[in-house]
Amino acid sequence: MRTVTVTEVRSMISTQQHPCISIYMPTDGGPPGRHEDRIRWKNLVRSAGRLLEGTYPATWARALLEPIADAFSEAPARPGGVAVLRSPDVDARYWLPVKVPEIAVVSSSFHTKPLVSYLDRNRRYFVLGLSERSMALHEGTPFSLRRLEVELPAFGRVSPGTAQAYSGVHGGTGAARASARHGWREPSAAHKSELLRRFRAVDRFVSCRLRDEAAPLVLAGVGYYHPIYRSVSRYPYLLDDGVEGNVEHARLEEIYERAWPIVAAHEGDLIATVRTQYALALAAGRAGDRLYAVAHAAARGRVRLLLHAEAVHVWGYVEPETGVCRVHDRQRDAEDADVLDDICEMVIRHGGDVVEVPPDRMPSTSPIAAVYRY
C-alpha cells in the first residue's frame, strides 16, 4: 500500500472502465483489533460482491474481487484507514494515517470523497527543519511525526560572528517577528546572503519533492530563518506560522507537539473562512444549498467552492453532462453512487475547490452548499 497524492486522485476522478469498486475501512492497528479488522474487511468485500450481482456476470465479480480479498493484510500495523479502488484497469491500494468511513461502493465511477477530504483537510502535513549544518524533511499526521529518508542539501557551519544558537523550541505565532521576541540580532548582509543561497537550494528540492502534494508545510528553525526562507519559497502551501527555536538536536516528539497545533489551527481557520465566503456569496445571490440546483451548476462548471457534510451519503445517480439527479433512500445496486461524491468530482474537474465540513458546522441543514462563479 502506498500514500495517496493529489495527482493520483485526479486520475481516479477521470473516466474509468466500469464497474468501479471503492472500499474504505478504518483500522485499529494492532492485536486484538487486527483480527477484527480482517473480518470487517472480508465483510466489505462481500458487500461489494452483492452490489455487483444482477448487473455484472459472476465471472467479472470474481476477477475483480479475488485480488483484493486479502488487500487489508498489506496495511501497516498502526491505526489509520485503508482505501482500495478496483476496476478492470485499476488496482490502487492506499493506507491513510487517519480514520475513514467504513463503506463499500460499486458504481460507474470511483468513490473518491474520503481521499479528496483527506488531502484537502490537511490531515497530512510536512515539517521542514532548518538548522545550522543540516536540513530535515518530516511527514506528520495528527498523531505522530516521522523523518523522511531524503537527501536534502547539506551545508557546513555558518560563519562566526552571527547570532548565537537558541537551545529551546517554541510554537510559532508569527515567524516574521521572531528575532524581536527571542533576542536575535538582525543577520549581517553577508550572512543573510549565504542563508538565501542555502534556502534557495533547499526550496528547489522541497518544491520538487512535494510537487504532487497539497498538504501544508510548517517551518521549524531559529526565528530569523523563517522570513528569509519564506522570501524564496515557491511551495504554495507553506503556512504563515512555524516552530521557532534550534531544532538541530530536538526530539521528534518535541517538534510534533509544536507543529500539529499549527496545522490544526490552520484547518479550523479554513472551515471558518469557507463558511464566511458562503455567507457573503449567499447575500449577493451567488450561493445556494439545494441539491438539484448545485448538481446542475456543477455539471456546467459554475461552482467555484463546494462545501459538503462529513460522513454523509446521498445515494442515487447524477447525469454528468446535465447534473440531473435521481435520489434513493439507500444504495441499491451497482448503478447507484453517492450523489455528493459525484458532485464533488464534477467541481474538481472544472477547477473548483471542495471542502469537507463537519455536519454541525455546515451553513444549513443541507448536506451540500455551493458558491457560484456567476
Domains in the chain and their CATH numbers? 6-120 (3.30.960.10), 125-269 (3.30.420), 285-372 (3.30.1330.30)
Cβ contact 24:96 at 8 Å: no
pTM recorded for the entire structure: 0.68
Q: How far apart are CA 170 and CA 130, in angstroms?
A: 14
Half-sphere exposure for 4 (CA within 13 Å, toward CB): 29
Q: Tell me if residue 196 falls in helix, strand or coil.
A: helix
Q: What pLDDT, on the 0 to 100 scale, is given for residue 213?
A: 79
| Residue spans of the chain under pLDDT 70 | 15, 29-33, 120-123, 154-186
Q: Provide the 10 A C-beta neighbour count for residue 12.
A: 21
Which of 12, 15, 11, 36 minimizes the C-alpha distance to 26?
A: 36
Cβ contact 37:28 at 8 Å: yes
Residue corresponding to grid cell 461502493: 105
310: DSSP letter: T
Q: What pLDDT, on the 0 to 100 scale, is given for residue 174?
A: 41
CB-based contacts of 165, cutoff 8 Å, min separation 6: 132, 222, 246, 248
364 phi/psi in degrees, rounded to 5: -155, -175
Contacts 24+ apart (CB under 8 A), 74-77: 74/1, 75/1, 75/27, 75/37, 76/1, 76/29, 77/29, 77/30, 77/34
Residue corresponding to grid cell 473516466: 15
55 phi/psi in degrees, rounded to 5: -110, -35
Q: What pLDDT, on the 0 to 100 scale, is given for residue 160?
A: 44
Q: What pLDDT, on the 0 to 100 scale, is given for residue 228?
A: 94
Q: What pLDDT, on the 0 to 100 scale, is given for residue 75?
A: 81
CA dihedral defined by 137, 142, 143, 147, rounded to 10 degrees? 0
209: DSSP letter: H
Which of 227, 233, 228 minimizes the C-alpha distance to 172?
A: 227
Across the chain, what does the average pLDDT equal? 86
For 244-275, the DSSP string reads EE--TT--HHHHHHHHHHHHHHHHHHHHHHHH
DSSP H helices, the chain, are: 6-13, 33-52, 58-65, 113-120, 178-182, 189-209, 225-230, 252-283, 291-299, 339-349
CB-based contacts of 302, cutoff 8 Å, min separation 6: 372, 373, 374
Q: Tell me, what amino acid is at 162? A: T
Cβ contact 243:169 at 8 Å: yes
- In Å, what is the CA distance from 158 to each residue of 188, 221, 245, 249? 12, 14, 16, 17
Residue corresponding to grid cell 455487483: 52
Q: What pLDDT, on the 0 to 100 scale, is given for residue 186?
A: 66
Q: What pLDDT, on the 0 to 100 scale, is given for residue 251?
A: 92
CB-based contacts of 211, cutoff 8 Å, min separation 6: none
Largest CA distance in the chain: 78
